């Protein structure tokens, strides 16, 4: 069948120039990294490949296929030459060339966001070669299994769950509940990965990311380090506990923002007041002892927060919290719901916060009530940190210093709740 020019070939000059310029820009952006690494296919090759794809996309679908075949021939020649010189196959560069050609085709067809985003991601993957290799080699078998399990739970189990409620009270919707479990697990696992990447850079980052993963575990580990060092790490633990508390509040706010934005807005002001003393005290401690917070401090031995047991455990806690909170709200009113939220914060503030957002989503409580419940759970989790330090750190001075800051944050947040309740009943 002969190739025929499509109607798309007749375009205004400025529009055609724009599409080809975008294709060239994507090609040069990706080729810059290859040129920097001294590859045979560099700036000019990638730019020309993107232009070829752009021309094919502008002329028509058949010509686009011909252009991709020509790029495939170029990839074959590139690898054949490399193998002849005993340099090995240029697999990464070949894949980048093919992707750049496809991006050029998309640009020629009038697409803008997709080819630009793909080009940026491709350049990023090429430039992060060493970092990605180091990170992948550091993964343990347990962490790799956790990644696979998360994918199975998300793409295999979630689609087949019922979309309607299955309990007499209309609370448990399996698919929505499972999505919440996946969401919290994914947040924890991503935070764990970030913690692992930065784990060798001192206690400031490890404490913050550790708090995002599990603030109770992070504070317990910090307290144990203070006891084992005979009090030498008090300054480091002080800043670490404050950062872990800040991270816990930020994580809970993120959960609310994803699950129910109205509940997030209702809790934002009190949460900010809770964070204010922690951030200020950490900053003051860092200015007075700039090297005392991270120098010589050990890495927190956190484990991956995601496993099948952890997912089932969180799911059970979430469902129990959701049902108890709904029953308490129905029988005892808002005070009953707040009491259950406080107990949930002592066990798992993430579960209590997710349950509050889920009840708002089901229409069982108002967004303002759910926001207060989320704040109460966060305050309870903050108070637990004081008792953990008092029990495990064996340091009266550290306990008193942290208690002053955290209790002041709880006081400010409570005042914020009261003021907000009067202003927004």
**Together in a domain, 99 and 47:** yes
Q: What is the C-alpha to C-alpha distance for residues 276 and 270, in angstroms, rounded to an integer?
A: 10
Q: How far is CA 346 from CA 120, 156, 209, 303, 409, in A?
A: 43, 33, 20, 21, 17
Q: Determine the structural domain holding residue 118 and report its residue range.
A: 7-127
My answer on whether 118 and 248 are in the same domain is no
Whether the pTM exceeds 0.85: the reply is no
How many domains does the chain divide into?
2
Q: How confident is the model at residue 292 (pLDDT cuts 50, 70, 90)?
A: very low
Torsions phi, psi of 32, nearest 5? Answer: -60, -40
Give me the mean pLDDT over the 311-331 stretch: 74
Q: Which residue, of 85, 106, 127, is where some domain finishes?
A: 127
Residue 316: per-residue pLDDT: 75
**3 state SS for 208-274:** HHHHHHHHHHHHHHHHHHHHHCCCCCHHHHHHHHHHHHHHHHHHHHHHHHHHCHHHHHHHHHHHHHH
Res 414: pLDDT = 92
93 and 172 together in one domain? no
Which of these, 227, 201, 248, lies nearest to 396 by C-alpha position?
Answer: 227
Which residues, 6+ apart, have CB-to-CB distance to 180 below 8 Å? 259, 318, 354, 358
Give mean pLDDT, residues 355-366: 84
Considering the domain architecture, whether residues 159 and 103 belong to the same structural domain is answered as no
The pLDDT mean for the chain works out to: 80
**Domain presence at residue 102:** yes
Does the pLDDT of residue 284 top 80, yes or no? Answer: yes
Residue 271 lies in a domain: yes
Are 318 and 366 within one domain?
A: yes
Residue count (the chain): 425
Within 10 angstroms of residue 90's Cβ, the number of other Cβ atoms is 20
Examine residue 132 and state whether it is found in any structural domain, yes or no.
Answer: no
The least confident of 98-102, 278-282, 362-366, 377-381 is 362-366
Q: Greater confidence, 309 or 38?
A: 38
Report for 50-64, 308-322, 410-424: range of highest mean pLDDT: 50-64
pLDDT at 405: 94
pLDDT at 104: 93
Domain contains 289: yes
Q: Is residue 309 in a domain?
A: yes
Q: Give residue 8's pLDDT.
A: 46
Taking residues 44-52, report their average pLDDT: 92
DSSP assignment of 89-145 equals --HHHHHHHHHHHHHHHHHHTT--HHHHHHHHHHHHHHHTHHHHHHHHHH--HHHHH
**Of the given ranges (3-7, 22-26, 58-62, 69-73), which has the lowest mean pLDDT?**
3-7
Q: Are residues 297 and 248 in the same domain?
A: yes
The per-residue pLDDT for 184 is 67
Is residue 265 in a domain?
yes
The answer to whether residues 88 and 192 belong to one domain is no
| Look-up of token digits 């730019």 | 47
Q: Judge whether residue 236 has pLDDT over 70.
A: yes
The CA angle 292-394-240, to the nearest 5 degrees, is 35
Q: Are residues 294 and 195 in the same domain?
A: yes
- Which of 81, 100, 127 is the last residue before a domain boundary? 127
Predicted local distance difference test score (pLDDT) of residue 141: 74
Determine the pLDDT at residue 295: 42
Residues 149 and 79 in one domain: no
Does 292 map to a domain?
A: yes
* 51 within domain boundaries: yes
């Amino acid at each position: 069948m002969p190739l025929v020019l499509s109607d798309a070939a007749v375009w205004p000059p400025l529009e055609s120039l724009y599409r080809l310029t975008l294709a060239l820009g994507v090609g040069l952006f990706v080729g810059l990294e290859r040129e920097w690494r001294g590859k045979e296919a560099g700036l000019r090759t990638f730019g020309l490949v993107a232009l070829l794809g752009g021309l094919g996309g502008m002329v028509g679908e058949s010509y686009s296929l011909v252009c991709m075949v020509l790029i495939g021939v170029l990839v074959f020649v590139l690898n054949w030459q490399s193998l002849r010189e005993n340099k090995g196959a240029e697999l990464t560069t070949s894949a980048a060339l093919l992707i750049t050609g496809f991006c050029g085709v998309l640009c020629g067809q009038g697409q803008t966001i997709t080819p630009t985003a793909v080009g940026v991601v491709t350049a990023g993957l090429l430039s992060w070669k060493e970092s990605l290799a180091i990170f992948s080699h550091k993964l343990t078998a347990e962490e790799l299994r956790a990644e696979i399990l998360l994918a199975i739970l998300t793409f295999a189990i979630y689609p087949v769950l019922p979309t309607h409620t299955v309990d007499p009270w209309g609370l448990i919707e399996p698919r929505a509940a499972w999505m919440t479990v996946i969401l919290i697990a994914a947040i924890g696992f991503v935070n764990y990965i970030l913690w692992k990447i930065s784990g060798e850079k001192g206690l400031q980052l490890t404490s913050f990311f550790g708090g995002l993963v599990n603030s109770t575990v992070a504070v317990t580990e910090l307290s144990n380090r203070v006891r084992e060092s005979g009090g030498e790490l008090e300054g480091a633990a002080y800043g670490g506990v404050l950062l872990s508390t800040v991270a816990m509040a930020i994580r809970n706010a993120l959960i609310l923002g994803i699950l129910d934005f109205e509940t997030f807005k209702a809790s934002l002001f009190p949460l900010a007041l809770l964070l204010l003393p922690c951030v200020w005290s950490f900053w003051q401690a860092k200015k007075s002892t700039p090297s005392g917070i991270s120098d010589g401090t050990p890495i927190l031995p956190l484990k991956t927060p995601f496993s099948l047991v952890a997912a089932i455990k969180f799911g059970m806690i979430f469902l129990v919290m959701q049902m108890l909170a709904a029953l308490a709200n129905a029988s005892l009113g808002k005070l009953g719901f707040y009491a259950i939220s406080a107990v949930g914060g002592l066990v798992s503030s993430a579960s209590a916060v997710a349950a509050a957002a889920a009840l708002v989503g089901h229409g069982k409580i108002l967004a303002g009530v759910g926001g207060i419940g989320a704040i109460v759970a966060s305050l309870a989790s903050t108070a637990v940190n004081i008792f953990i330090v008092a029990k495990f750190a064996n340091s009266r001075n550290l306990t008193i210093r942290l208690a002053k800051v955290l209790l002041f944050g709880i006081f400010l947040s409570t005042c914020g709740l009261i003021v907000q309740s009067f202003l927004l009943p």
